[in-house]
Amino acid sequence: MTDPVTTERHGRVFLITLNRPKANAIDAATSQALGAAFEVLQNDQSLSVGVITGTGRFFSAGWDLKAAAEGEAPDADQGVGGFAGLTEYWGLTKPVIAAVNGLALGGGFELALAADMIVAAEGAEFALPEATLGIVADAGATIRLPRRLPRPIAMELLMTGRRATAAELERWGLINRVTSPEDLISSALELAAATAACAPLSLQAIKEIDALSEGLSVEDAYAATRNTPLPAYSGIYTSEDAAEGMAAFAERRLPDWKGK
């Protein structure tokens, strides 16, 4: 048997690949393996950005219904990060890019939604069929999708289960880039490398402020940002990286980030 999750390092970028033919369905053991990979991303200071993708014609078909039919409970231990290792990984301070190679169905779509950015191949399709099966997309889509899309569009996808193309979701602003299948990984790694070229503390601070301010008014978000202890943001202007960034700009050279 092959490992359901494989990883590769590309400089400061960590490529995580779901490899569970035929549909990259996610059972509890696969969720735990994904969570372990995201933990490596979080804890390894030589890594700045993660990319999650799949093999074959599926990014992921989501929850492994065969495992469920064989007795795996919906509340089985999914490990760190909850379902798919990412949908509830609240402590992950590093950016993640989903490189959607094919069908992202149910929990596969929810895994992509848990990422910070999405790159998709032409021909990739996204759907949330849970309501047609008598269940609900409760690994994040019912919460996240109405915040990312116009509410009527999100409700349509949640309440009908219809498939949306990558091109449609790019028009709605949910997807950053649509590429040819052949260029998907290189495009995702290019975006990841551009992100990883920025200061690690700045990336962490952006994620902190984004998480804290979501759903707040602009005024309340300002107040929360100023008054809440945020590990990366609180010390960013006195950090070594801030001094290095300004020095590198003045000296017209690339900065040497230390993450502190």
- Token reading at 47: 């890594």
Q: Which of 8, 72, 130, 219 is catalytic?
A: 130
Residue 208 appears among annotated catalytic residues: no
CA distance 189 to 196: 10
Strands 5-10 vs 13-18: parallel, antiparallel or unpaired: antiparallel
Distances (CA, A) of 230 to 122, 225, 226, 238: 39, 8, 9, 14
Contacts of 49 (CB under 8 A, 6+ apart): 12, 13, 14, 94, 95, 96, 97, 192, 193, 195, 196, 203
Task: Calculate the CA dihedral of residues 56, 26, 34, 118 and round it to 10 degrees.
Answer: 60
Measuring CA to CA, which residue among 187, 152, 189, 137 is closest to residue 166?
Answer: 187
Q: Which of 39, 70, 88, 110 is catalytic?
A: 110
Residue 251 appears among annotated catalytic residues: no
Measuring CA to CA, which residue among 65, 67, 5, 3 is closest to residue 35?
Answer: 5
Radius of gyration of the chain (CA): 19
CB atoms within 10 A of CB 142: 17
CA distance 213 to 88: 18
Active-site residues: which are they? 110, 130
